[in-house]
A and B are shown apart, each in its own frame.
Chain A
Amino acid sequence: MSLYQMQKFLFDINRDDGLQQQFRADMSAVLDRYRLDGEERRAIETGDVGLIYVLGANGQLLMHYAAYLGMPWADYIAAMRVGVARHGPVRAGVYAMTTRLDERVADV
């Protein structure tokens, strides 16, 4: 569990256009710079926003990363619910889900 490193990656890529380009060109080389465990690395490699959420990434970091990935708002919200359904409750941080899996808050 290296949540800090995973969040550092999200922080860096969200604010650095150059890193975003490098990431698109060579994902592995960028991820090698962070001490991620296997689950964290896989979550990023596969664009599994739901798993990143469950691993405890701060929502503000993840929201902007999802936007960078090009996810429409409804898809991003849905991905987090899918993450909880597949992987269980959020494991760390202060962004836990408090609504039911079948609840559509704000009709999303």
Chain B
Amino acid sequence: MSLVFAGICSHAPGITGRAQQADRSIAGAFFHSYRSMGDELAAARPDALVIVAAEHFANFFMNNMPAFAVGMAQSYEGPIEDPQWLGIPRTVIPGNAPLSQRLIREMMQTVDLAYAEEWKFDHGVMVPLSFLTPRYDLPVIPVNINCQGPPLTPLHRAWALGEALRRAADLVPERIAVVGTGGISHWPATPDSGKINENWDREFLQRWQANDKPALLSYTDEATYRDAGQGGFEIRTFISIAAAAQGRGSLRYYRPIPIFSVGCTVATMEIACRT
């Protein structure tokens, strides 16, 4: 039993980049929940944090797009974006290359992974870290699921990735935390930015909290694009966490904050015995 913490959270760049433009009391409550999740994470005493994120062309592009990639470096840099624009200073984040190697070797038994000894973190990793481990003192292992360049990784494969991650985490002596980052419904980087389908989000979060695998895997990309925008493709990261933790989820915060372009979400999941 070495998976010790599981959670999900939003990573939209506006959360830090446009923090000053938001209503202070609303943003404050969200930030408080986000930091509290960081406290819970620390209380689980993890040796490493695996972040399953949907990255946005910081490292991977349509010249050679992996369905899954896992970082295997001793350190990472971020953010790749303009630090002023994102509101997060550029820094070096520790990794753990030998641990990455062991996790990757085991995960590869069931899921075909790309690995990367070079990885620049974008907002998908940096925004969560700025709340969860703001001193950047916990080794991080980044995992990417292709949620950006269609054809996208199928949802059932995101589930398989989560299962592989759980199996691998349980085999290493280190204490492993996993956090999935992304958005639920949102239309980022379009003139629609700020549009949020709250009903769709709440339905998804209900399925996620119940860890209802058939319901979580029943979304089609066509329906997601129509109802939840291209940002909705990022449900893959949250689904992988449900597969890894296999327990019930607990929603700590959800509220649409349009200037952040996303329904802001913080949730944790109990770690259930593997079936």
A residues 81-108 touching B (CB-CB < 8 Å): 81, 84, 94-99, 103, 105-108
Where chain B touches its partner, the secondary structure class is: loop
Residue contact B57 to A11, C-beta cutoff 8 Å: yes
- For B261, the chain A residues whose CB sits under 8 A away are 106
Query: Assuming the A-B contacts A58-B148, A67-B85, A94-B225, are A105 and B57 also in contact, with contact meaning beta carbons closer than 8 angstroms in the complex?
Result: no
Kindly report which residue of chain B lies nearest to residue A84, judged by CB atoms: B191
How far is it, in angstroms, between the C-alpha of A11 and the C-alpha of B85 when the chains are bound?
17
B residues 189-221 touching A (CB-CB < 8 Å): 189-195
How far is it, in angstroms, between the C-alpha of A73 and the C-alpha of B189 when the chains are bound?
10
Contact with B along A61-90 (1 / 0, CB 8 A): 111100110000100010011001000000
How far is it, in angstroms, between the C-alpha of A67 and the C-alpha of B123 when the chains are bound?
14
Residue contact A97 to B63, C-beta cutoff 8 Å: no
Say if the beta carbon of B223 comes within 8 Å of chain A: no
Residue contact A98 to B187, C-beta cutoff 8 Å: yes
Kindly report which residue of chain B lies nearest to residue A78, judged by CB atoms: B191
- For B18, the chain A residues whose CB sits under 8 A away are 73
Residue contact A106 to B193, C-beta cutoff 8 Å: yes
Say if the beta carbon of B81 comes within 8 Å of chain A: yes
Residue contact B149 to A68, C-beta cutoff 8 Å: no
Query: Assuming the A-B contacts A94-B230, A99-B195, A105-B194, are A58 and B149 also in contact, with contact meaning beta carbons closer than 8 angstroms in the complex?
Result: yes
Tell me which of A60, A97, A99, A108 contacts B57 (CB under 8 A): A60
Residue contact A80 to B194, C-beta cutoff 8 Å: no
Say if the beta carbon of A42 comes within 8 Å of chain B: no
Say if the beta carbon of A47 comes within 8 Å of chain B: no
How far is it, in angstroms, between the C-alpha of A99 and the C-alpha of B258 when the chains are bound?
14
How far is it, in angstroms, between the C-alpha of A50 and the C-alpha of B149 when the chains are bound?
21
Query: Assuming the A-B contacts A94-B150, A94-B225, A97-B192, are A8 and B61 also in contact, with contact meaning beta carbons closer than 8 angstroms in the complex?
Result: yes
How far is it, in angstroms, between the C-alpha of A58 and the C-alpha of B189 when the chains are bound?
8
Kindly report which residue of chain B lies nearest to residue A63, judged by CB atoms: B189
A residues 7-21 touching B (CB-CB < 8 Å): 7-8, 10-11, 14-15
Residue contact B82 to A106, C-beta cutoff 8 Å: no
Residue contact A107 to B63, C-beta cutoff 8 Å: no
Tell me which of B56, B150, B192 contacts A99 (CB under 8 A): B192
Residue contact B194 to A108, C-beta cutoff 8 Å: yes
Residue contact B191 to A105, C-beta cutoff 8 Å: yes
Residue contact A108 to B193, C-beta cutoff 8 Å: yes
Tell me which of B61, B191, B258 contacts A11 (CB under 8 A): B61
Residue contact A67 to B56, C-beta cutoff 8 Å: no
Q: List 5 A-B contacts (CB under 8 A).
A: A58-B149, A97-B192, A98-B190, A98-B195, A106-B259
Residues in A lying within 8 Å of B, measured CB to CB: 4, 7-8, 10-11, 14-15, 53, 58-64, 67-68, 73, 77, 80-81, 84, 94-99, 103, 105-108
